[in-house]
Amino acid sequence: MEKQKTKKTMPYWALILILAGCFSIVTAAVHLYWTTVTIPFEVTGIELSAYPEVIMQDPGENVTYSCNVTNTVDRTYNITLVFALDDTEYFDAYVTVNAMDFYTIAPLSTTKIEFEVCISLAAYPVSGLEFTIDFYIVPE
């Protein structure tokens, strides 16, 4: 009687383990190859400082605030300031900021900028909002 040859097969768990390992290696290689790195990029020259730490007003009140804009390079800049609250509906309905359209900042100098914040008499009390001042260089 002839002995039957038994076929040796790989257990399913071993096959799954090998495939999972291969998949992990391929995934890691693809990730390393196609990873995008984002690095903050900034060209300095204009700095905003000495701005109010908090703006606290009553309805109907108009208050003048100031901040300093420092030009650290040997070039004149024209800048515009944009004022906003993180609650745009409240800002549009109850807050007005009066400031010049643009400011000329002389080379290697600090310019004091004043702006008036007016709160409508119809405004209701709020807290926890953030007031932002963004500045943009006006192209010459």
**What pLDDT does 131 receive?**
92
- The token pair at 120 is 């409508």
Q: Which of the listed CATH numbers 2.60.40.10, 3.40.50.150, 1.10.3720.10, 3.40.50.10210 matches domain 46-137?
A: 2.60.40.10
Q: Side chain identity at 9, as an amino acid letter?
A: T
Domain ranges of the chain: 46-137
In sign, the C-alpha dihedral spanning 82, 84, 89, 90 is negative
Pick the more confident residue, 4 or 40: 40
Nearest by Cα to 131 from 83, 88, 90: 83
pLDDT in tens, 88-114: 999 999 999 999 888 999 999 999 999
Nearest by Cα to 77 from 8, 140, 13: 140
Pick the more confident residue, 98 or 32: 98
Total-model pTM: 0.66
pLDDT > 90? residue 33: no
